[in-house]
Structure 1
Amino acid sequence: MKPSLQLKLSQHLALTPQLQQSIRLLQLSTVELEHELERYLLDNPLLERAEDYALAANAPTTGDGEIAPRSDAPAEPSESASPDEESWLGEEAAYLRQPGSFDEDDDDYHDVQAASISLREHLLSQLGLMTLSGRDQVLVGCLIDALDDDGYLTQALDELAESMPAELDIAAEELQIALIHLQHLDPTGIGARGLQECLALQLQALAPDATRNLALEIVHKHLELLGNHDFQKLKRLTGCDDEALRAAHLLICSLNPRPGAQYSTADIRYIMPDVVVRKLRGQWTVNINSDAFPRLKINSLYAQILARQRGSGLAGQLQEARWLIRNVQQRFDTILRVAQAIVDRQRQFLDHGDVAMRPLVLREIAETLGLHESTISRVTTQKYMATPRGIFELKYFFGSHVSTEAGGACSATAIRALIKQLISAEEPTKPLSDSQISEVLGQQGIVVARRTIAKYREALNIPPVNLRKSI
């Protein structure tokens, strides 16, 4: 073949650095965005935070790329607002006026105080008051160090004895005695080697009576049957009647299967909502959460210096700072548009709850706003909406649908809510099976297969029918 020259025309998409930054900021969560902005603030001297900044949501940018403060502060509840609107609006207005106060006003947040003393410290303080020899105190201390967060001793005594220094010459029998001392400490049930022993220790600490003795027998011999709710077989093996078994069952359920958990420090993660939904004059509207909106501006001193010295090396950093401020603003504008579009389609959910959730897919929002589905996917991932019904990830409002006999569609979220309602209202002695739930929904015009009911029930962490049955 002879070499030849050919001219070929083609189109391709070139992402500018500004567009790449915009896409990256859009997919970040609020926490990740803060970390990213901290990096920019350290690297770029022209960029700084505006501490006394007004609410910047939907604010226009100035000629220098700064976000201009808004003059339309959140309005107080109007006289025409209904009482329920006023209560919600009043709380939200207070939080918008006071940065950082959202967690304090919202009822969904509860004060969770970390344990002031660890399980190990609690047990060692009691050990110091016991009249034991020095060797016995050391052995009990070793067992305390071997407990897990729930207060269980998961390692066998033989293994513990072998793992200790040989010069101590510790036998498993000595550890057995030390374990008895440990199991007499508070909280009751500590140092158990399994659930059965943990429950038995707590029952043995109670005053003997018929109910306690029956409960102890069940825990020692028939705990698996109790877990499977096989009450008929339990009555046959123990020779008790319904009333006695019911009392023993309630007593066992009142015990603490994790006695050491109350001293564990929980890993608590708080969610900062990106947008807040409120009802004003009968309409659900969305506003950017001022606490989630980063307040950035151009450093005026450096900007003045740069204006006088055109050849300064800070010109590139000035342009980068302007891009960042505009892209942050665009990020929240896009989140606001998407959130409002979601709220417009899920008004019934906000009014009536999960049972009124309508089917919704990303494509529907994308077509409404003239955006790509991938953009909607980025916006709805790890972005949260605060509503009077709680805080939800934006993705929560999207879901598959199930056809109805009338030719309509019912969302999977609504079906899960209906399943939860049916199970909560069922008779404890005759719980509904998955097939029966399917039949009940079918009578309401919602055709759902039994296996789909089982899948939704498991997603709700609801046990099967045999485990929900009570005496």
Structure 2
Amino acid sequence: MSLELRQQVKLTQKLVMTQQLRQAIKLLQLNRLELTNALHEEMAQNPMLEEVVVVQDNISNPESLSAEEVHGAAAEPVATSQVSGDDPKNVAEVDWENYSNNFDSDFSFAKEAPPADAPSQFDFISAAPGLLSFLQWQLSHIKLDEKDQDLAIFILGSLNGYGFFEASIEDICDYAGCSHEEAKGMLRLVQSLDPPGVAARDLRESLMLQLEREGMEEDLAYMLVAEHLDELQTHNFTKIAAKIDYTAREVRNAFAVITSLTPYPGNKYSNEQTNYVVPDVYLYKLDGEFIIQLNNDGLPRLQISTEYQELIKNKEKMTVASKGYLTEQKRHAQNFINSVHYRQNSIYKVMRSLLKFQHDFFEKGPGHLKPLVLNDVAQDIGLHESTVSRITSNKYVHTPQGLYELKYFFSSAVSTTDGNLVASEAIKNRIRLLIQQESPEKPLSDNSISELLKKEGVKVARRTVAKYRDQLKILPVKHRRKSR
């Protein structure tokens, strides 16, 4: 058998992932914040992309602007346009505070105190001080030698976000080569700082330190924390009172003192930023009809640069390489704009389909959520199921019933006794309502909830009720019981 090279023509069908399709899929799965960053990054990389600048001709008359135009227009001071010539009447209308610089130390008319509402230099610090900075500031006011200061810094560096000490006395001794008494003494010094309970090794010690700070070492609350903290979680005050020879009322009053303490002292000084959810789409109800509106606030409107397009047409000023580069960037820019439009249109189509399938939910609330799978929406709007999955991930809608992730509206089905289907999310909502309405002295067990749902026509096993309760982050019955 001879080996040889041949040229052969072959016709085949193959699914090729083009660059434009990859880009469209990538934009589909971005949330709103990531999309905003992607738009700005693309504008920075592609010279053919620019943001549409809306120029208002009637800014001098704000009353003539619509609400959308007022938000879209830049808030530029217009006082200078009112000044003409040397008329002192016109000069008085200028708001000179817009031109002052409170941070310019080289220029000042007088040594006057800044106004009370003036911004401070500390308002522009990039990172807010946290627990570690607060403790270091307190230590700076205590006279410590070099060795003790080194021990204190080691202890501060071993605190977690809750303010708990994660190392041990042996770790301190190994680090500094000190005795156990010196390590315990320095740990006790750090524990004496604010907030009360800081540098505790566990929750029990944190609560005990806070009670010691209040001078309650001899009180019942201190004894309950030290010896019966685990039993307090069951709220069975009568059983605890029988063990320690106190009345249930006294135990309940001591428990109220314990619950007023801060279990995690470091949380108050956390400098972590809170990321708020911004809805991608709004659903309004006006005159009995639902209206879908995409949230485009903060998203730059893109267009192809007209200046570069004119430059491409000018053959005299452009080299072949430069023209080829700009032509290629123009094609990329147009594909990017099309991908953004495809993303927004797809979100709108999915929301319109969800409104059709879950109309009762938007009208009446979570208890009327119907079973729905991704394939139902995919067939309704003519997209692939994986595309619908990407669209609904990390996307949120603001509805008359509240703020929900688009994934929330897809729920598995549970059959009822009459042969109908009900969504599992609707069952979870019903379990939540039953527990909210239960008696604190006699809370509902999982088996009792299962029996109540069965009477309502929903057959759910006790294990399923327990699973849904755990997903709702609701404690078991023994931890919800509150004895008199």
TM-score by length of 1: 0.79
- Aligned residue in 2 for 1:72: none
Q: Is 2:360–2:368's contact at 8 Å kept on the other side of the alignment?
A: yes
Aligned-partner Cα distance in 2 for 1:94–1:349: 31
Q: Distance in 1 between matches of 2:46 and 2:392?
A: 30
Provide the aligned length of Structure 1 versus Structure 2: 416
Q: How does 1:154-165 map to 2 (within 5 A)?
A: 154-164=166-176
Name 2:42's counterpart in structure 1: 40
The answer to whether the Cα contact below 8 Å between 1:115 and 1:264 also exists between their aligned partners in 2 is no
Residue of structure 2 equivalent to 1:353: 365
Q: How does 1:75-224 map to 2 (within 5 A)?
A: 98=71, 116-130=128-142, 136=148, 139-164=151-176, 166=177, 170-208=178-216, 213-224=219-230
Give a deviation string over 1:304-343, Cα, whole Å, max 9, x none.
1223439631222222222221221122111111112112
Does the aligned pair in 1 maintain the 2:234–2:481 contact within 8 Å? no
Aligned mate of 1:381, from 375, 393, 401:
393
More RCO (CA 8 Å, sep 6+) = 1
Task: Please name the residue that 1:289 is paired with.
Answer: 295
Structure label with greater radius of gyration: 2
1:246 aligned to which of 252, 255, 258: 252
Structure 2 CA distance, aligned partners of 1:412 and 1:254? 37
Q: Answer whether contact 1:215 1:251 (CA < 8 A) is retained.
A: yes
Q: What's the secondary structure of 2:275's corresponding residue?
A: coil
Q: CA deviation at 1:114?
A: 11
Distance 2:146 2:328 in 1: 71
Deviation at 1:97, TM superposition (A): 5.8
Answer with 314-323 or 223-232: which moved more.
223-232
Q: Distance in 2 between matches of 1:216 and 1:265?
A: 31
> Identity rate of aligned residues, in percent?
38
Structure 2 residue runs without a partner (length 5+): 57-64, 74-124
Matched, 1:336 2:342: no
Q: Quick one: structure 1 residues 190 and 8, their matched pair in 2 at CA, closer, same or farther if it must change by over 3 Å? A: closer
> In the alignment, which residue of structure 1 is the partner of 2:25?
23
Could you tell which deviates more after superposition, 184-193 or 253-262? 184-193
Which range moves more in the overlay, 185-194 or 222-231?
222-231
Matched residue SS, 1:315: helix
Structure 2 distance, partners of 1:315, 1:137, is: 65
Q: 1:394 to 1:300 in 2, by over 3 A?
A: same
| CA distance 1:131–1:330, change in 2 (3 Å) | closer
Which one of 467, 475, 480 corresponds to residue 455 of structure 1? 467
Paired residue type of 1:407: G
In structure 1, list runs of 5 or more residues that go unmatched: 55-75, 77-92, 101-112
Residue 452 of structure 1 deviates from its aligned partner by 1.0
Distance 2:274 2:149 in 1: 35
Report the Cα distance in structure 2 between the residues aligned to 1:315 and 1:330, rounded to whole angstroms.
23
Shift of residue 41, structure 1, vs aligned partner: 2.3
Letter in structure 2 aligned against 1:98: H
CA distance in structure 1 between the aligned counterparts of 2:467 and 2:55, rounded to whole angstroms: 49
* CA–CA distance in structure 2, aligned partners of residues 318 and 180 of structure 1: 67
Correspondences of 1:359-398 after superposition (within 5 Å): 359-398=371-410
Matched, 1:319 2:331: yes
- TM-score, normalised by the number of residues in structure 2: 0.77
Contact 1:49 1:296 in 2 (8 A): yes
CA contact (8 A) 1:384 1:391 kept: yes
How far apart in 2 are the matches of 1:344 and 1:175?
67
Q: Determine if contact 1:306/1:315 at 8 Å carries over to the other structure.
A: yes
Higher mean alpha-carbon deviation, 20-29 vs 220-229, is at: 20-29
1:96–1:187: structure 2 CA closer, same or farther, 3 Å change rule? farther
The 3-state SS of whatever aligns with 1:98 is helix
Distance in 1 of aligned mates of 2:265 and 2:25: 48
What SS does the aligned partner of 1:428 have? coil
1:225 to 231, 236, 246: 231
